[in-house]
Amino acid sequence: LPANQKAILFIDCYPVHIGKEFRTHVFKEFPHVFLIFVTANYLIGLLGTGMFQPADVGIQRILKH
């Protein structure tokens, strides 16, 4: 992104995501990214978090199960 643009990353509260090491890495390496944490299966309007995680609910679902 250009220096004057920002990005929002909606991410679930998986322990690795909320850990200090991950957050510090994102803040240092990607200062233009805002982290927004949502609880698992939290509804955003009429969409669940799965709608924001197509790889997680589609591609990786097979590996998880």
Condensed to tens digits (0 to 9), the pLDDT of residues 7-55 reads 988 887 888 888 999 999 999 999 999 998 877 666 555 455 555 555 6
By 3-state DSSP, what share of the chain in percent is helix, strand and coil, each rounded to 5?
45, 25, 30
d(CA 36, CA 41): 15
Cα–Cα dist 13/36, whole Å: 9
Q: Is the pTM of this model over 0.85?
A: no
Whole-number Cα distances in Å, 61 to 3, 21, 39, 44: 35, 26, 18, 21
Please report the pLDDT score of residue 59 as a whole number: 61
